[in-house]
Amino acid sequence: MDDKNIYSGHRKRMTERFLKYPDSLSEHEVLEIMLYSALPRKDTNPLAHKLLAVFGSLENVLGADAAVLKSVDGVGDKVCLSLKLYARVGNILSEKKSVKKEKFVYLKMKEQLIRELGELSEERFFLYLLDEKSVILTRLCFSAGRQEEVFIDPKELAKSVVVLRPKRAVAIHNHLSGNPAPSLKDDETTEKLYKLLALHGVELSDHIIVSGGRAFSYHYSDKLEQIKQR
């Protein structure tokens, strides 16, 4: 069997093992797989061992400067780029985890929402997806258009719900009229959204309207409860 087939079979076994049992791989095996894309026709095992011998750990390999990496025999531009890319992805994920998770509390966020939405020149509709403790998972924007025209894409909403698995949601939009009082269309939109979210097991906790330096809350006005009782 030629070297190409040997490497191909080994790579297939390694990738299958990684996909099934990712925790079973040692540092040098993980590094070996990381080098596959940069060295598609070479056995990456020796280079993985060499890098770990030089730097001491996978963390140190990924944290090394590009110039230092390229000083190791066998590390060219492609390998260096691949390793630094993995390092950057790891840093991005680490930075996101370290960011303090913010809870959605209407009374605390009210003034911020008034400032943010009060500066908009067109009507926008946002949906905050929250976990069981009301921690914000993401903020979706569903519309931008004429006054009082709101469109919620059920497919986009469903996709976000499947990925993030929220327990609650808060809808927020602005009026351009200067009056935050809800219209009949707002009531209809709130009811439709409540039913749509309920299909996915998500509770609509509030619908907030911002306009003219003021805010209206369906929850605190009891209008949301009335809609849910229908």
Amino acid at 194: Y
Reported as a single tens digit per residue, the pLDDT across 123-173 is 889 999 999 999 999 888 876 555 445 567 788 888 888 888 999 999 999
Reported as a single tens digit per residue, the pLDDT across 173-190 is 999 889 999 999 999 999
Percent of the chain residues topping a pLDDT of 70: 90
What SS3 class is residue 21? coil
Paired tokens of 213: 């330096």
Which residue is associated with the tokens 């299958």?
16
Reported as a single tens digit per residue, the pLDDT across 30-51 is 999 999 999 988 899 999 999 9
Three-class DSSP labels, 157-215: HHHHHHHHCCCEEEEEEECCCCCCCCCHHHHHHHHHHHHHHHHCCCEEEEEEEEECCEE
State the DSSP string of 33-99. HHTTTT-TTS--HHHHHHHHHHHSSHHHHHHS-HHHHTTSTT--HHHHHHHHHHHHHHHHHHHHHHS
Give the C-alpha separation, 129 to 113, whole Å: 16
Q: Are strands 136-145 and 123-130 parallel, antiparallel or unpaired?
A: antiparallel
Predicted structure pTM score: 0.57
Give the C-alpha separation, 193 to 197, whole Å: 6
CB count in 10 Å sphere of residue 113: 17
Average pLDDT over residues 92-109: 79
Over the chain, what is the mean pLDDT?
87
Percent of the chain residues topping a pLDDT of 90: 61
- When computed from its CA atoms, the radius of gyration of the chain, rounded to whole angstroms, is 26
Name the maximum alpha-carbon separation found in the chain: 78
Reported as a single tens digit per residue, the pLDDT across 209-218 is 999 999 999 9
Give the C-alpha separation, 155 to 52, whole Å: 46
Which residue is associated with the tokens 């809808």?
171
